[in-house]
Amino acid sequence: LRLVSRQFVHRSASNWPGIEYYPPTNKPFGLQQWLRARRAEHAADEALVIVDSDMLIVRRFPNYEPAALKGRPIAAEYGYMEWRGISNGLGAHFSPSPRAPAVKPDAVGVPVVIMRSDLARIVDDWLDITVAIRGSEQWRALCEDTGWTAEMYGYAFAAANHGLAHDVRVGSLMLYPPMGYFSHPPHVTHYGIGYKIAPTGHWFDKHDWWQHDPLDCAYDFFAAQDVPPLYERRVGADACEAARGYLLASLTTVMIADAIAEHRERVCNDTSAPSRAHLPDFARAGDFWRATDRRWRCPTWYDRPLLAPQYADRGYYSKANLRERARAA
């Protein structure tokens, strides 16, 4: 965060009155509080990018045209939302009229690129619907995941109620490691579920760290986590699609490790921390992705079809399927 010029810290909303412990409430609540606190500073509209804390930005976001974004946010597709809370009637409980919302809810989530004025229109409903779903046993059951995705449905239903139809992006905004089948390197890698880098045998799962704080100076993250090298394809050994997936997976783990190494050096005075950094300089270059394809003799990732036909089934995007694929890889 020391690289971020401005920060806004709000009180925690994880223990919202009337619902059990639910940290995702902090997303709509924090954005609501930020919009209120900074209202006077934002006379002109602006584009915002919303991401989750288990995401890493691995490719620069472009300068989006505000006129194109106004009323039509860009968001990543989460296909499993379609056959859970969207198609099973959960959204009907939150429609502004007995008939229907202004538009059909989209099965989307972060990263979301949205104009500040559009966010201001929906953020109160986003928070209210999130709390309502999380606080109802009946509505949590319709999420089919004990209500952990209540905040995602809160956003989707609030946006639909205010007439926001999304420009839905499949793969170009966000990918779960070790997926690598799309036309462009994603802007964000999402380590929401565990994954394995099959050629090296390395495994990473954020859930392994719930009982530990990797930023605690007394806790040695590197003694507990075997950090992989940045994956390098052996030409002819792995298909380009699989190799790109392994590269994303190793890059995700390496970037996390590098951030922790920097923290330990700067905050914990750990003199051994610099030697634990693994991210090579070439990986920071602007043409990293194209250069990697050239080095690997792969068709340029940018020129590939959007989605390989065999993965067009939305079931491919369910967390259960992704988790099984990661474990089987």
Please give the single-letter amino acid code of residue 107.
A
Give the tokens for residue 269: 């005075």
Query: Can you give the pLDDT at residue 235?
Result: 65
Full pLDDT tens readout for the chain, 329 residues:
455 667 788 899 999 998 889 999 999 999 999 999 876 566 677 889 999 999 999 888 888 888 889 999 999 999 889 888 888 888 888 876 554 457 889 999 999 999 999 999 999 999 999 999 999 988 988 888 878 899 999 999 999 999 999 999 888 889 999 887 555 788 899 999 999 998 889 999 988 888 888 888 888 888 877 888 888 887 666 688 888 889 999 999 888 888 888 888 888 988 777 667 667 776 776 678 888 888 888 876 555 443 333 333 334 444 455 445 444 44
Of the CA atoms within 13 Å of residue 319, those in its CB half-sphere come to: 14
Query: Can you give the pLDDT at residue 106?
Result: 92
Q: How far apart are CA 50 and CA 132, in angstroms?
A: 22
Query: Can you give the pLDDT at residue 111?
Result: 95
Q: How far apart are CA 249 and CA 48, in angstroms?
A: 26
Give the tokens for residue 101: 């919302």
DSSP H stretches of helix in the chain: 26-37, 66-69, 80-81, 116-134, 137-143, 150-161, 221-224, 240-266, 288-296, 319-328
Cβ neighbors of 83 (< 8 A, separation 6 or more) are 314
Q: How far apart are CA 52 and CA 188, in angstroms?
A: 10
pTM of the entire predicted model: 0.84
Query: Can you give the pLDDT at residue 281?
Result: 72
User: What is the DSSP secondary structure assignment for residue 57, as one 8-state letter?
Assistant: E
Query: Can you give the pLDDT at residue 324?
Result: 52
Q: Are 212 and 199 in contact (CB under 8 A)?
A: no
Query: Can you give the pLDDT at residue 72?
Result: 94
Q: How far apart are CA 108 and CA 152, in angstroms?
A: 8
